[in-house]
Amino acid sequence: MRIALAQINPTIGALSENTERIREYYHRGVKGGANLVVFAELSLSGYPPKDLLLYQSFIDREKELIKRELLPLTTENGRALLIGTSHKQGSKLYNAAILLDRGKIKSIHMKTLLPNYDVFDEERYFTRATDHHIEMLDDLPAAITICEDIWNDRDFFPEPIYNTDPLEILYAQGARLLINLSASPYHLGKHKQREEMLPFLAKKYNTGIIYLNQVGGNDGLIFDGSSLVYNNRGELLYRAAAFKEELFYVDTDNLFLPAAELLSPGRDAVDTIRQALQLGIRDYVLKNGFTKVTLGLSGGIDSAVVAALAVEALGSENVLGLMMPSPYSSEHSIEDATELAKNLGIKYRLIKIEEPFNTFLNLLNEKKEPIRDLAEENLQARIRGNIVMHISNREGYLVLATGNKSELAVGYCTLYGDMAGGLAVIADLPKLMVYELADHLNQIHGQTIIPKRTIIKPPSAELRPGQKDEDSLPPYHILDPILHFYIEEHLSAADIIERGYEKETVEQVVWMVDRTEFKRQQAAPGLRITARAFRTGRYMPIARGYDYRYPAGREPGEHKTSSKETPTQ
């Protein structure tokens, strides 16, 4: 039997458009000789459709499209179609895989394990399935499963999350082929997880595995595709393209033969990040109906990397750089930003913020001159925010915010200032990774895209004379690991200190993270790269106490806070 796997990029909620794309891939698959064409989890609606699922009209429309548009396809030629979609039975909604064959719904396979952690909240929408049945595909008994359903193996995971393992049931029924429809978002390390777990299952159950994943950027989540095929020896037969659509074929006989060649395991190199961010930018911009973007260019590394990624995603003609020096900007900031813009071949404008800054000071400072406090630092950033938004509103550019994860974590950023924008491209990239990515971008382009001085000079917000990030923050090679332990690993301050970091520093960092949650809750959506991203995967209260982390008598208030913003506003 020949199966076509359609790794497509649907747009959330664009039901007709997605149906059209499904039809197109189905026809291609049939032309390619497939007896069955498969689409990933919720590929009709795109994943995650979120509260669109609470609208009965949305569910009805899905049902109607399946009935009117997709079912008839399978009548004409007798080739089956397996699609991921929501499915209502009575008052219960299921996350389902529906097999369409000869103009009829041949069977429905519903998702049993509903992830409800990190970025997932499927318990909000779906009911857990309790029924499991194998499907005969020609003479091959198949376990048709959806994403999480295969991630609960008690021999692989020391502590499985769920009490049920659908695979145990399905293989007890005699399954020989595993087809898994996934919508598995990318994060660093995800490839490795998949490529360790799947061959384990292949060997354990002596089964062929077809793992089909969605591709595309949907708000903060980036789906990488990278679909996988294993034979029953756990040998990798095929790895589909990462970060783009692809149609590929599997002849099921091959799933039970030794691999012709051995593919090396997938790796999450720095280039994966580049590709992920590129797709994330392109899809967010285009799926929102924009074509061009603008961003502030400070001469620093963050905006340089974001500009370079935007050019890769959208083309240099669709990127506008804005240089907005303040009275405290260094000379090299304009030089470096100009060099970058020229290297990238993008348009740029120079708009000095000195005049509006002075006008505000006239209005707000008794002595009409700068007093150089935090408020004035923020004011400069907010004037820039006004300018980029003005140009966005007037000329139709989407604004890219350029802050990195390290500064967002400690609140070293200005709400409505440098945080302003439609998409925060590197909001989930720690500063050290930004450096790595900058080097990598220069390397793969075979020339200096990001100016050397931009990479070498000490990071600075340039909001007061001689300011450096390290005046307010620990050096990034210390800050970033502490943030990783606190945010991704959920270690306490005490745990992190035990790992050899200085007590004062750890407590200062943790304090800054906790007290600046209010900023992150008003941040632009960020593209997810790590295993724990702000906003999409981390939910924290704003008004809260902190006393449990401090020994009695120790006043938390004595900590320094980040310099670009007052502690809680």
Report the alpha-carbon distance of residue 283 to residue 202 in Å, rounded: 34
Neighbouring C-alpha atoms within 13 Å toward the C-beta of 405: 27
Report the alpha-carbon distance of residue 569 to residue 567 in Å, rounded: 6
List the one residue from 524, 527, 529, 531 that touches a copy of itself (CB under 8 A).
524
CB of 409 to a copy of itself, least distance (A): 14
**Contact string 286-315 vs a copy of itself (x = CB under 8 A):** -xxxx-------------------------
If the CB atoms of residues 121 and 436 are measured against a copy of itself, the closer one turns out to be: 121
**Contact string 29-48 vs a copy of itself (x = CB under 8 A):** -----------------x-x
Where in 332-351 is the site for a copy of itself (CB under 8 A)?
351
Sheet strand arrangement including 92-101: 104-110, 92-101, 80-89, 36-39, 2-7, 246-251
Q: Is 511 in the site for a copy of itself (CB under 8 A)?
A: no
List the one residue from 363, 553, 555, 558 that touches a copy of itself (CB under 8 A).
363
If the CB atoms of residues 206 and 522 are measured against a copy of itself, the closer one turns out to be: 522
List the one residue from 200, 249, 256, 360 that touches a copy of itself (CB under 8 A).
360
Stretch that binds a copy of itself, among 168-176, 223-231, 244-252, 381-389 (CB under 8 A): 381-389
Where in 51-70 is the site for a copy of itself (CB under 8 A)?
51-52, 54-58, 61
CB of 376 to a copy of itself, least distance (A): 8
Closest-CA residue to 320 (of 356, 289, 344): 344
Q: Is 367 in the site for a copy of itself (CB under 8 A)?
A: no
List the one residue from 67, 494, 498, 554 that touches a copy of itself (CB under 8 A).
494
If the CB atoms of residues 131 and 547 are measured against a copy of itself, the closer one turns out to be: 547
Where in 435-474 is the site for a copy of itself (CB under 8 A)?
none
Closest-CA residue to 118 (of 536, 553, 566, 546): 536
Give, for 407, the enclosing helix (H) or strand (E): helix 405-410
**Contact string 526-565 vs a copy of itself (x = CB under 8 A):** ------------xxxxxxxxxxxx--x------------x
CB of 233 to a copy of itself, least distance (A): 33
Closest-CA residue to 80 (of 6, 10, 143, 26): 26
Structure tokens given for 132: 């499991």
Report the alpha-carbon distance of residue 246 to residue 393 in Å, rounded: 36
Side chain identity at residue 24, one-letter code: E
- What is the maximum alpha-carbon separation in the chain? 87
Residue whose entry in the numeric block shows the structure tokens 């090299």: 332
Catalytic, 41? Answer yes
> Cα separations (Å) of 208 from 107, 233, 250?
21, 8, 10
B/e letters for 94-110, b = 16+ CB within 10 Å, e = fewer, are bbbbbbbbeeeebbbbb
If the CB atoms of residues 122 and 195 are measured against a copy of itself, the closer one turns out to be: 122
Helices (H), 68-174: 71-77, 166-172
Report the alpha-carbon distance of residue 1 to residue 240 in Å, rounded: 20
Beta carbons within 10 angstroms of residue 505's beta carbon? 17
Catalytic residue among 41, 376, 462, 565: 41
Please report how the helices 301-314 and 270-287 are oriented relative to each other, as an axis angle in degrees rounded to 10: 60
Beta carbons within 10 angstroms of residue 353's beta carbon? 21
The rounded Cα 342 to chain-centroid distance in angstroms is 30
Where in 3-32 is the site for a copy of itself (CB under 8 A)?
11-18
Stretch that binds a copy of itself, among 79-87, 258-266, 357-365, 501-509 (CB under 8 A): 357-365
If the CB atoms of residues 127 and 184 are measured against a copy of itself, the closer one turns out to be: 127
**Contact string 167-196 vs a copy of itself (x = CB under 8 A):** ------------------------------
List the one residue from 154, 372, 452, 490 that touches a copy of itself (CB under 8 A).
490
Give, for 215, the enclosing helix (H) or strand (E): strand 215-218
If the CB atoms of residues 49 and 459 are measured against a copy of itself, the closer one turns out to be: 49
Catalytic residue among 147, 195, 377, 565: 147
CB of 390 to a copy of itself, least distance (A): 5
Could you give the 3-state DSSP secondary structure of residue 89? strand
Catalytic residue among 62, 111, 190, 413: 111
CB of 105 to a copy of itself, least distance (A): 20
Stated length of the chain: 569
**Contact string 247-286 vs a copy of itself (x = CB under 8 A):** ------------------------------------xx--
CB of 248 to a copy of itself, least distance (A): 26
The rounded Cα 438 to chain-centroid distance in angstroms is 19
Stretch that binds a copy of itself, among 27-35, 355-363, 433-441, 473-481 (CB under 8 A): 355-363
Beta carbons within 10 angstroms of residue 502's beta carbon? 13
Prior bond to 474 cis, omega within 30?
no
Could you give the 3-state DSSP secondary structure of residue 539? coil
What value, to the nearest 5°, has the Cα angle with vertex 221 and ends 387 and 412? 45
If the CB atoms of residues 268 and 354 are measured against a copy of itself, the closer one turns out to be: 354
The rounded Cα 513 to chain-centroid distance in angstroms is 21
Size of the site for a copy of itself (CB under 8 A): 98
Could you give the 3-state DSSP secondary structure of residue 214? coil
CB of 172 to a copy of itself, least distance (A): 24
Stretch that binds a copy of itself, among 250-258, 306-314, 331-339, 397-405 (CB under 8 A): 397-405
If the CB atoms of residues 123 and 251 are measured against a copy of itself, the closer one turns out to be: 123
If the CB atoms of residues 356 and 459 are measured against a copy of itself, the closer one turns out to be: 356
Where in 89-148 is the site for a copy of itself (CB under 8 A)?
91, 116-117, 121, 123-124
Beta carbons within 10 angstroms of residue 74's beta carbon? 23
List the one residue from 50, 63, 203, 445 that touches a copy of itself (CB under 8 A).
50
Could you give the 3-state DSSP secondary structure of residue 218? strand
Active site residues: 41, 111, 147
